[in-house]
Amino acid sequence: MVSASSAEPRRVALLTLGCARNEVDSEELAGRLHADGWEVTTDGERADVVLVNTCGFVDKAKQDSIQTLMAAADTGAKVVAAGCMAERYGRELAESLPEAHAVLGFDDYPEIAARLGSVLAGERLRAHTPRDRRELLPITPVARRESEVVVPGHLPTESFGPGDGRGGRAGADDAGRPKHLRRRRLQEGPVASLKLASGCDRRCAFCAIPAFRGAFVSRTPDELLAEAEWLAKTGVRELVLVSENSTSYGKDLGDPRLLEKLLPQLAAVEGIVRVRASYLQPAETRPGLVEVIATTPGVAPYFDLSFQHSSEPVLRRMRRFGSTARFLDLLESVRALAPEAGARSNFIVGFPGETRSDVDELVRFLTDARLDAIGVFDYSDEDGTEAATMTGKVGRATIKRRYDKLLALAEELCAQRASDRLGSVVEVLVDTVDDGVVEGRAAHQAPEVDGSVTLVAGDAGVDLAALLPGDLVRATVTATEGVDLVAVPTGMASAAPRAVA
């Protein structure tokens, strides 16, 4: 462990668990810490402080967070918990996990450097008592812009002025005061997440996220475009738009169709070759938004739709809308505009009251839906949710049988869908080139969750050895391995910038 001193910068290791939204929050924390003189790394070795951005979504994620915090304590560094689990449980987590020297909530983020400085100095910070963050903002969405509630990952436009390209110290403002970029990329590569909004106004019976993430708040188009331009200058070629509910974007700004207008603007940012929207609510996915995503050049025809189930009785108990017929109609409208569009979703099995006929209905939907990627989750009670108090609980053994059945079906169906793409031409964004192996993703594949494309040599004359991360390559699919594709490049669609010798 390195001791902090005036001659050597304090070193903080920032470890991120959970979703892409958390990754954006970590990069905000990294930017704030770097601006205050901390050396920021993602390597827990030789750190003065290990800051763990935890996930608090489901039991497995919480267990992963606890294990990461305990492992961090073995390094000898001070250990600090932040993120969703820390916000959700606060003092309770601090009392049950003495290995953590501090448990910080979202309200601590603007002063994160001072908080870590206090921990390093040996002070014991009092953990917060959790509260429902939805109550901190006005009920009326359009009244929320004036609130001063801390919303992680929401960075002002001026945070993305001239700088070192990695979120370091920037120039000066009109009054001569130094400006700082408050987001600092923790991982290099051609893909980055861009946070559209935070929070959620929906009341799904199984979900605790709104209580600790708060009510829905959009970022303005100016903020997003400024950050997109900054990310492009750092070498980003694909933007992945993230939020708890992207289809609500703009409703608190007075324009519920704002995402339809924003997507083409983001796709037009110099250097960006692909924009991908995620976290779409089927009930809010309007025909105009479908058309923009399916037909706009530079926007991936990709539909990350939160179905969760397809049996109408189960959906009603979940406090959600839809049915097998409605969901299939939505997918049909997508494919009428873009036959090769990608579609993915997640599903919960074993929700209270779920019957065998409900499972049969879900099987029927999955079989007909032709989804590219399917996530299956077994239901478990979550603290503070309506579902946790519902009657009609399904036994654990039954849930496991249904989970195993749906998971096996999902793997089979997704492999079949991948096989449907044999012989098709896809545009592959190269993610990595490692020891001669070139991997990337087609438009229907989001980072980390939807499989990948391995490029192999063919007769088209494309030199694999000359490809770099960020290149957008046209390729013909020649083989499949589960959801993964193998393809032969046939030409360059858009080359990433090359270093000048």
Question: Which residues belong to the annotated binding site?
Answer: 19, 55, 84, 200, 204, 207
User: Rounded to whole angstroms, how far apart are CA atoms 15 and 17?
Assistant: 7
The closest alpha carbon to 36, from 111, 122, 133, 143, belongs to 111
Tokens of 87: 């916000």
Q: Answer for the pair 163, 181: CB distance below 8 angstroms, yes or no.
A: yes
Q: Answer for the pair 239, 228: CB distance below 8 angstroms, yes or no.
A: yes
Bind-site residues for [4Fe-4S] cluster: 19, 55, 84, 200, 204, 207
Tokens of 66: 């606890």
Q: Answer for the pair 289, 260: CB distance below 8 angstroms, yes or no.
A: yes
The closest alpha carbon to 300, from 427, 448, 453, belongs to 427
Secondary structure of residue 377 in the 3-state scheme: strand
| Bridge partners of residue 218, in order along the sequence | 197
CA dist list (Å): 329 to 134, 326, 336: 34, 5, 10
| Bridge partners of residue 429, in order along the sequence | 441, 472
CA dist list (Å): 233 to 27, 32, 164, 185, 229: 16, 20, 10, 12, 6
